[in-house]
Structure 1
Amino acid sequence: MRKIFFLFVTVLLFNACKDNKASNDKMLLDSSGNINNVSVIIENDLWNGQVGEAIRNVLTAPVYGLPQDEPLFTLSQIPPSVFSGFVTRNRTILQIIGNKPANIEFTKNIYAQPQKVISITGQSKQEIIDIVNANAKKIVETFRNAEIAERQRQMKKSPHPYTSIKEKLGLTIEFASAYRIAKETDNFFWIRKDITTGTSNLLIYSLPFSSIKPNDSTVTQIIKIRDSIGEKHIEGGVEGTYMVTENAYTPFFKETILDNKLAFETKGIWDLKNGFMGGPFINYAVEDKINKRWVVIEGFAFAPSVEKRDYMLELESIIKSVKIE
């Protein structure tokens, strides 16, 4: 009898803990904030000195692959004394706290959800600076991944009702209903969205498995392929004009993983052959061993006279939603 009573009490306590956790999760308000905007919670004297400079060197470094310099993130400095209420709901927060043992902590959903909070503590200014520099890559990746996830979440609210991409290319990719199919063949799609001063564009196509050979010349192979695709499919407004890669700008290239598959990421500047248009592009060539092919997904923007960072983040968010069947 005592065992039954003990078991009954244990179950009650367990359920109470679960209910309390669920209640706490429900109490969190939705996070807010513009895309690529980070709130930095730091005292004014630290922000205006070497600590602030170290933070800015990491978080406002220029984005590679844009025609003009634009920072990775837009920073909003907030003194701890006024960090309360609505401002705590920002989606990405970096907290700097002095006079505590040196440490860095990555947490989520502290004040709102979804939310990423990075807290850095140190007994001295130099300790804080050292932690910022030592963890620069992880800090940037944490905030960028949060922004990509947020952009994907926003686009899911109004998804494009496409079906032909899955039917023809055997993959799914999520983009908003504001985009339209501009051109479609059996294995090629050009998807566009009108923006304030131009367009955001997405290309999806497949290539034979022998088209790309992973070696020292892979980036050259990819550039030749995208130039041939541009000449064939991405024509300008005047006859004889088409999209090519800007040769004067060295592309960024790295090996990565997309949809749990080997992929090559290439960033650079596109140009209009025999014309006067241009802008940034990001290209992923994904190895699809099962279907013995390469799937190429590229985003490029035409947005003269305006900043392009956020447009490119949206395109990258779309690309990273791909699921190859």
Structure 2
Amino acid sequence: MMNKKPILFVFLSLLFFLSCSKKNDNLVRHSSGKINSISVVIDDNLWYGVIGDSIRNKFARPVEGLPKEEPLFDINQYPTHLMEGFMTKSRTIIVIKKTDQNVFEIKKDQYATPQNVFHISGKSVSAILEILETHAPQIIQIIEKGEIIEHQRLLSDSILNPKVIQKQFQVVLKVPNSYSYTIKKTDFVWLKKECISGSNSLLISKLPLSSIKSNLNVFSRILKLQDSIGGLYVKGTEPESTMYIDQSYPIYFFKTKVGGKVAYVTKGTWRLKDSFMFGPFVNYMILDADKNRILFLEGFSYSPSRDKRDFMHELESVIQGAKM
């Protein structure tokens, strides 16, 4: 007589396996990828042509404010038949195809989370180019916001005691504990992170709101204030070797909001007088009328032998997370 126990065991094991597989399918997949990296799914015949050129011109254009050209995003290209597996875990995916309809669609968390998948389909090459031209600014804005949030998440794993800065400047700022205090005064703090080939720095200072007068050019005043702060606190080995903005490089200036307050952002290149030391900076001047003050949050990097885009992105992620 046949023993039914082994058959029953196999059947129950199979049920258990199928049940576990179903549960795993329902688990949320976490997106992955390096900061400022995007996946573009497009067949080679479109990638090596005017559409590929348009993508590279828009998404790998030079980052503003760096002394040397570096791409806005690192682009990884995959043919459409590879739209599976590890690639679908990318935080940002742009899918471009030729189809019988002209379509632009954004899908949140389609394969993983957090994730943005941008679908661009066109009847012709010219139709795809038109969709790219129309929607590229929106796509870039969404990607940039997502990368700042992701960088903030990565940095928040280990931060300095926020109460110290909060008590001194009445601002909540999550600074990674890889930074340490170089200078600490009543109205000024310099935090620095030493790297293998240089350093990242964050300056925090406060001034009376009257330092910026409405009848003066705000941009010019910011440059003077920043040079003044750099001249006072950021010095080289020689007494006269102080920090200043090198205006021979392009300077970028725009208005935004940080922590619900109006802020002016300045980006460009800093330099030490009588020195070969220079690098990129970003300065957020936040107008805090409630406290009758200006809060200066400035980040600058010195890394002569390495790319600086992601160093500056780290500093901007910290600054943009400020809460007052």
Q: Same fold (TM over 0.5)?
A: yes
Once residues 320 and 26 of structure 2 are traced to their aligned partners in structure 1, the CA distance between those partners, rounded to angstroms, is: 29
What is the Cα deviation at residue 98 of structure 1? 1.6
Match of 2:146?
146
Residue 186 in 1 paired to residue 186 in 2? yes
In structure 2, give the amino acid aligned to 1:91: R
Q: Which runs of 5+ in 1 are unaligned?
A: 1-22
Match of 1:261?
261
1:11-50 to 2 correspondences below 5 Å: 27-50=27-50
Match of 2:313?
313
What is the Cα deviation at residue 26 of structure 1? 6.2
- Change in Cα spacing, 1:24 to 1:67, as seen in structure 2 (3 Å) is same
Deviations along 1:126-161, one digit per CA (max 9) or x if unpaired, are: 111111111121111111111111000001111222
Once residues 104 and 229 of structure 1 are traced to their aligned partners in structure 2, the CA distance between those partners, rounded to angstroms, is: 47
Match of 2:249?
249
What is the Cα deviation at residue 219 of structure 1? 1.0
Once residues 75 and 148 of structure 1 are traced to their aligned partners in structure 2, the CA distance between those partners, rounded to angstroms, is: 18
What is the Cα deviation at residue 316 of structure 1? 0.5
Match of 1:98?
98
1:99-248 to 2 correspondences below 5 Å: 99-214=99-214, 217-248=217-248
Once residues 47 and 96 of structure 2 are traced to their aligned partners in structure 1, the CA distance between those partners, rounded to angstroms, is: 9
In structure 2, give the amino acid aligned to 1:203: L
Deviations along 1:71-121, one digit per CA (max 9) or x if unpaired, are: 101100011101211111011111112214222222221111111211111
Once residues 180 and 102 of structure 1 are traced to their aligned partners in structure 2, the CA distance between those partners, rounded to angstroms, is: 53
On the 8 A contact 2:67/2:249 being kept in 1, the answer is: no
Once residues 100 and 260 of structure 1 are traced to their aligned partners in structure 2, the CA distance between those partners, rounded to angstroms, is: 45
What is the Cα deviation at residue 196 of structure 1? 2.4
What is the Cα deviation at residue 25 of structure 1? 10
Quote the RMSD (CA, aligned, Å): 1.6
- Change in Cα spacing, 1:242 to 1:26, as seen in structure 2 (3 Å) is farther
On the 8 A contact 2:162/2:175 being kept in 1, the answer is: no
Provide the secondary structure at the position in 1 that maps to 2:291: coil
What is the Cα deviation at residue 24 of structure 1? 9.8
Match of 2:11?
none
On the 8 A contact 2:110/2:117 being kept in 1, the answer is: yes
Deviations along 1:258-299, one digit per CA (max 9) or x if unpaired, are: 111111010010000121100000111011010011111011
Once residues 81 and 196 of structure 1 are traced to their aligned partners in structure 2, the CA distance between those partners, rounded to angstroms, is: 41
What is the Cα deviation at residue 214 of structure 1? 4.6
Q: TM-score, normalised by structure 1?
A: 0.89
On the 8 A contact 2:162/2:173 being kept in 1, the answer is: no
Q: Which runs of 5+ in 2 are unaligned?
A: 1-22
Provide the secondary structure at the position in 1 that maps to 2:40: strand
Provide the secondary structure at the position in 2 that maps to 1:121: strand
In structure 1, give the amino acid aligned to 2:40: V
In structure 2, give the amino acid aligned to 1:319: I
Q: TM-score, normalised by structure 2?
A: 0.90
Match of 1:294?
294
In structure 1, give the amino acid aligned to 2:273: K
Match of 1:54?
54
Match of 2:68?
68
Give 4+ residue runs of structure 1 displaced > 3 Å after superposition. Answer: 23-26
Once residues 179 and 116 of structure 1 are traced to their aligned partners in structure 2, the CA distance between those partners, rounded to angstroms, is: 31
- Change in Cα spacing, 1:229 to 1:26, as seen in structure 2 (3 Å) is farther
Aligned-pair identity (%)? 38
Higher Cα Rg: structure 1 or 2?
2
What is the Cα deviation at residue 239 of structure 1? 2.6
Once residues 93 and 217 of structure 2 are traced to their aligned partners in structure 1, the CA distance between those partners, rounded to angstroms, is: 41
Deviations along 1:206-257, one digit per CA (max 9) or x if unpaired, are: 1101111356621110010011101111111233211100021231011111
Match of 2:5?
none
Provide the secondary structure at the position in 2 that maps to 1:225: helix
Provide the secondary structure at the position in 2 that maps to 1:141: helix
Once residues 303 and 123 of structure 1 are traced to their aligned partners in structure 2, the CA distance between those partners, rounded to angstroms, is: 47
Once residues 202 and 147 of structure 2 are traced to their aligned partners in structure 1, the CA distance between those partners, rounded to angstroms, is: 19
- Change in Cα spacing, 1:121 to 1:213, as seen in structure 2 (3 Å) is farther
What is the Cα deviation at residue 322 of structure 1? 0.2
Match of 2:86?
86
Once residues 276 and 214 of structure 1 are traced to their aligned partners in structure 2, the CA distance between those partners, rounded to angstroms, is: 37
